[in-house]
Chain A
């Protein structure tokens, strides 16, 4: 699986660091460091982290052998609406 955080959106609420501490780490007060290719065993934790992001900055993609399937994206629709 692949994880992508839009660091322009991220505001350091750190909810992801609470819920998936193996993958998301806070450096200092608000800088986020994360693992973009976490182990599949962490799938559930990563999903909890992505769902909890107050600004929906975390995207998760799954590679299921055939094609990369984009499963979750929190940003596109919101941006379209704000831009409208």
Chain B
């Protein structure tokens, strides 16, 4: 058997700490097919083009019947969520969800959360004040967005113990199904999704009987020109919002902290210049994106792009993290430049599936990183590179140990 393809190597856990040289290699063949029939697209220009191409579907049901992900969707007791659908179904669902999240129907909700979020992260740091070592993941980057999304949706935060394992299994199942190991991840993800769906169904029932002011209650009771969300749509949407609402943000906060620790001059600058956080978070999204590539897209027709024909039904992987470091688009792409100009990164995607939670993620990460800069005294990275989580798509450290001389009040 031939050696591993570049795409297989990207997915190989051995390369998790630093996949960037592989992405650079990949960009030499910006549309790269491999023997498994996977197509990886890695230049900024082509990724952007395909993110706006209606021939590229987000619906796994467009894949052939023997595709493991297609089989998992067919066996799932929950319908595909809005991020896994195409127009017009997608647009209708996204519109209905957006009504309870942002403009034009809900104005100012995210911006108004800032005060509470600042209080929450500072509370986390207050409770660590006598510590000399903290794990940024377990002590900070994980509990924060979990609490935020739970309160926003109306999920009891103490239920985290119940959904933690399911959320992780579902997140890991986003990776491409490569080999026996890949198929096992998909199977585990399917079980977890059905169980989390069941949990959510019960919760929706409670909120339906006694609606509160949370987003879940508002989604249940809302009706608009698009009608009402069905029970099935409520279950799949809330499962997705819960998972997307924290699995990705954890990685963005941790990747940002790691990058700051590796660039102590930038960390120091942020201490004196808190406004730097605004472009700095954008640069983190470019430099270490929490979603490294889109793994759920499928060609609806033969797509010829840059002389290569991607056949109908083929899985197409848009390598966001590779495009974000494309030297044709970004000057000095491998340098972390916190106030980079013209930073039109793909960290939140582009086009109709642009990250639904982007405004919330930006606010959370700006607040989380600024609080660390302001309060940690002499923070030092303990292990570099840190141990990584399994996922290639949702890539981020599993732990990030930091030694500190103290934590300022």
Contacts and interface: CB of A to CB of B under 8 A. Distances in A.
Interface of A: 13-15, 17-21, 25-29, 44-45, 47-48, 51-52, 54-56, 72-78, 81
Interface stretch (B101-109, B180-188, B194-202, B387-395): B101-109
Contacts of B103: 14, 17-18, 21, 25-26
Q: What are the 3 closest A-B residue pairs judged by CB atoms, nearest first? A: A18-B359, A77-B342, A26-B103
B256 to A, nearest CB: 15
Given A17-B102, A47-B275, A52 B107 contact: no
Contacts of A81: 328-329
Interface of B: 95, 102-104, 107-108, 110-111, 275, 278-279, 281-282, 328-329, 341-344, 348, 350, 354, 358-359, 362-363, 366
Nearest to B345: A54
Chain B binding surface SS class? loop
Given A19-B110, A21-B108, A48 B341 contact: no
B278 A48 contact: yes
Contact of B111 (A20, A74, A77): A20
Nearest to B102: A18
A56 B393 CA distance: 26
B104 A26 contact: yes
Given A17-B102, A21-B107, A78-B342, A51 B282 contact: yes
A75 B341 CA distance: 10
B281 to A, nearest CB: 8
Nearest to B101: A18
Nearest to A74: B342
B344 A18 contact: no
B104 A27 contact: yes
Given A28-B104, A74-B342, A13 B278 contact: no
A54 B111 contact: no
A15 B348 CA distance: 11
A19 B363 contact: yes
A78 B102 contact: no
B344 A14 contact: no
B278 A51 contact: yes
A54 B348 contact: yes
Contacts of A28: 104
A56 B344 contact: yes
29 contacts: A14-B102, A17-B103, A18-B103, A18-B110, A18-B359, A19-B111, A19-B362, A20-B111, A21-B107, A21-B108, A21-B111, A29-B95, A45-B111, A51-B278, A52-B282, A52-B358, A52-B362, A54-B354, A56-B343, A72-B341, A74-B342, A74-B344, A75-B342, A76-B342, A77-B342, A78-B342, A78-B344, A81-B328, A81-B329
Question: Which one of A21, A29, A47, A75 has the greatest number of beta carbons of chain B within 10 Å?
Answer: A21
Nearest to A72: B341
A55 B278 contact: no
B385 to A, nearest CB: 28
Nearest to A75: B342
Given A27-B104, A54-B344, A81-B329, A48 B354 contact: no
Nearest to A79: B342
Given A20-B111, A25-B103, A56 B342 contact: yes
Given A14-B102, A19-B110, A55 B344 contact: yes
A2 to B, nearest CB: 18
Nearest to B282: A51
Contacts of A27: 104
Nearest to B329: A81
Contact of B275 (A15, A21, A44, A74): A44
Given A21-B108, A45-B111, A47-B278, A52 B359 contact: yes
Nearest to B346: A54
Contacts of A26: 103-104
